[in-house]
């Protein structure tokens, strides 16, 4: 009995820290998924062309690529919890500023500031979760994190449908959701990890250290953004109506929600690189089956559900594998590299997948996705020749 409390206290602190970080990023996810379509609709209302809207949206990826590499050093000086709270405050203010400054010229620097703070939130939240997660349960914790985040992204557009897109109300609601993320941070601020030193490696150093983990972010960024952007167009090319074609994205999202925890659980029991290989091969096979499945709508729906779920696990398991490879300040630097590669994939995916569909209409959409997963599977196979490191405990 005398030893019970010393063992439980760290477990309770760990659970509180993980819960705070997951709740924070989930609330921000709701605000983010509300803001993205809101800003696009408002720009169209202001008379912006589709190209200009796309360029403004692409600033989000550029902001993360420019700012995120400096986040670990900044967190070492300011503190993880403090920097998270500062990013939330700046993010909420910049979101309301979009409405206060209805001039497209202002929206480019505002998008940069808004997206840079989102990058800070995701890097430090994922670092905190990875640092606090017990090694033998890291995959499961990341699965829970990804599931909650996916649910948050599903809630945002629903709130927008309820609130509408006119006036200050949706902007204030989004800002309020951001600020709600301060509550768990304030409650658990003493549990946030400390960075007493800055990372010693540069960006390419993390790519060499854990290529299977970091490249998972690149491939997932390309597949997620490119797939979500081009899949409705693919549905239109198949002859479906606009609403049905757009609904195909919801099928992928639902599979993404349901597959995260099972694959995270599996990643705690076998070599995570093998789980990444299963995800890559499953993604390649699923994409390769899309052309024959497109002849039957029910078959296509079932395939997209399973394929979307398997594809989504790349991010979760890649993040868990990264946490098992490095710790402390190096983990913060590795998380930053992970997010940068995701954003590079975000910028590369749509033109590559869309261009492939133009070259081989309409099935180039599927073949390009198959190629991305196949190339990544080869990287994982190469890495499986290296020692696995500490084995995960069941």
pLDDT band at 4 (very low <50, low <70, confident <90, very high): very low
Report the distance separating Cα 58 and Cα 377, nearest Å: 28
> What are the start-end ranges of the H helices in the chain?
4-45, 50-67, 71-78, 80-100, 104-132, 138-163, 169-180, 182-187, 203-209, 211-237, 242-267, 272-293, 297-325, 328-359, 364-383
Averaged pLDDT for residues 348-364: 87
Q: How much is the pLDDT for 274?
A: 93
Return the higher-pLDDT residue of 282 and 226.
282
Identical topology for domains 12-190 and 203-383: yes
| Residue range 32-53, pLDDT digits in tens | 778 877 887 788 788 877 677 7
Q: Answer for the pair 255, 224: CB distance below 8 angstroms, yes or no.
A: no
Report the distance separating Cα 44 and Cα 160, nearest Å: 16
Q: For residue 196, which phi and psi values (nearest 5 degrees)? A: -85, -10
Q: How much is the pLDDT for 187?
A: 83
Report the distance separating Cα 259 and Cα 213, nearest Å: 18
CA separation, residue 340 to residues 122, 123, 126, 216 (Å): 11, 9, 13, 12
pLDDT at 234 over 70: yes
Q: How much is the pLDDT for 109?
A: 94
**Angle value at C-alpha 223, between 107 and 174, nearest 5 degrees:** 35
CATH of domain 12-190: 1.20.1250.20
pLDDT at 8 over 60: no
Averaged pLDDT for residues 358-370: 92
- Structure tokens given for 155: 């809630």
Report the distance separating Cα 306 and Cα 87, nearest Å: 36
- What kind of architecture, by CATH, is found in domain 203-383? Up-down Bundle (1.20)
Q: How much is the pLDDT for 389?
A: 46
Sequence spans of domains, the chain: 12-190, 203-383
Q: Pick from 38-52, 64-78, 264-278, 337-351 the range whose average pLDDT is largest.
A: 264-278
Q: How much is the pLDDT for 375?
A: 96
User: Of the given ranges (3-12, 44-53, 250-259, 295-304), which has the lowest mean pLDDT?
Assistant: 3-12
Rounded to the nearest integer, the mean pLDDT of the chain is 84
| Residue range 51-72, pLDDT digits in tens | 777 778 778 888 888 898 888 8
| Residue range 289-308, pLDDT digits in tens | 999 999 999 999 999 999 98
User: Of the given ranges (164-178, 323-337, 338-352), which has the lowest mean pLDDT?
Assistant: 323-337
What percent of the chain has a predicted confidence (pLDDT) above 70? 92
Q: Answer for the pair 171, 37: CB distance below 8 angstroms, yes or no.
A: no
pTM for this predicted structure? 0.80
What percent of the chain has a predicted confidence (pLDDT) above 90? 28
| Residue range 90-137, pLDDT digits in tens | 999 999 999 999 888 899 999 999 989 988 988 888 888 888 888 888
pLDDT at 254 over 60: yes
Q: How much is the pLDDT for 9?
A: 43
User: Of the given ranges (148-152, 198-202, 370-374), which has the lowest mean pLDDT?
Assistant: 198-202
């Amino acid at each position: 009995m005398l030893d019970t409390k010393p063992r439980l206290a760290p477990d309770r602190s760990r659970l509180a820290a993980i819960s705070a970080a997951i709740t924070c990023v989930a609330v921000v996810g709701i605000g983010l998924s509300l803001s993205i379509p809101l800003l696009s609709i408002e720009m169209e209302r202001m008379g912006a062309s589709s190209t200009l809207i796309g360029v403004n949206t692409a600033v989000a990826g550029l902001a993360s690529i420019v700012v995120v590499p400096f986040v670990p050093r900044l967190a070492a000086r300011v503190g993880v919890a403090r920097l998270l709270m500062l990013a939330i405050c700046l993010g909420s203010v910049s979101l309301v500023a979009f409405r206060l400054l209805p001039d497209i010229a202002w929206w480019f620097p505002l998008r940069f500031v808004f997206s840079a703070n989102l990058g800070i939130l995701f890097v430090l939240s994922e670092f905190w979760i990875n640092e606090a997660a017990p090694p033998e349960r890291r995959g499961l914790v990341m699965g829970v994190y990804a599931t909650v985040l996916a649910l948050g992204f599903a809630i945002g557009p629903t709130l927008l449908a309820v609130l509408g897109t006119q006036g200050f109300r949706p902007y204030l609601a989004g800002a309020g959701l951001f600020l709600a993320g301060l509550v768990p941070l304030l409650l658990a601020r003493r549990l946030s990890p400390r960075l007493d030193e800055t990372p010693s490696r540069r960006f390419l150093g993390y790519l060499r250290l854990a290529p299977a983990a970091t490249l998972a972010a690149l491939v997932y960024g390309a597949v997620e953004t490119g797939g979500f952007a081009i899949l409705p167009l693919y549905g239109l090319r198949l002859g479906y109506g606009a609403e049905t074609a757009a609904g195909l994205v919801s099928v992928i999202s639902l599979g993404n929600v349901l597959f995260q925890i099972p694959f995270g659980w599996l990643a705690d029991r076998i070599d995570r690189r093998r789980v990444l290989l299963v995800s890559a091969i499953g993604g390649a096979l699923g994409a390769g089956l899309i052309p024959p499945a497109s002849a039957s709508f029910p078959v296509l729906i079932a395939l997209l559900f399973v394929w979307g779920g398997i594809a989504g696990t790349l991010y979760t398991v890649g993040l868990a594998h990264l946490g098992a490879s490095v710790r402390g300040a190096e983990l913060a630097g590795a998380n930053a590299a992970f997010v940068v590669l995701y954003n590079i994939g975000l910028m590369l995916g749509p033109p590559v997948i869309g261009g492939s569909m133009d070259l081989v209409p309409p099935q180039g959409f599927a073949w390009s996705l198959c190629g991305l997963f196949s190339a990544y599977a080869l990287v994982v196979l190469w890495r499986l020749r290296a020692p696995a490191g500490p084995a995960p405990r069941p």
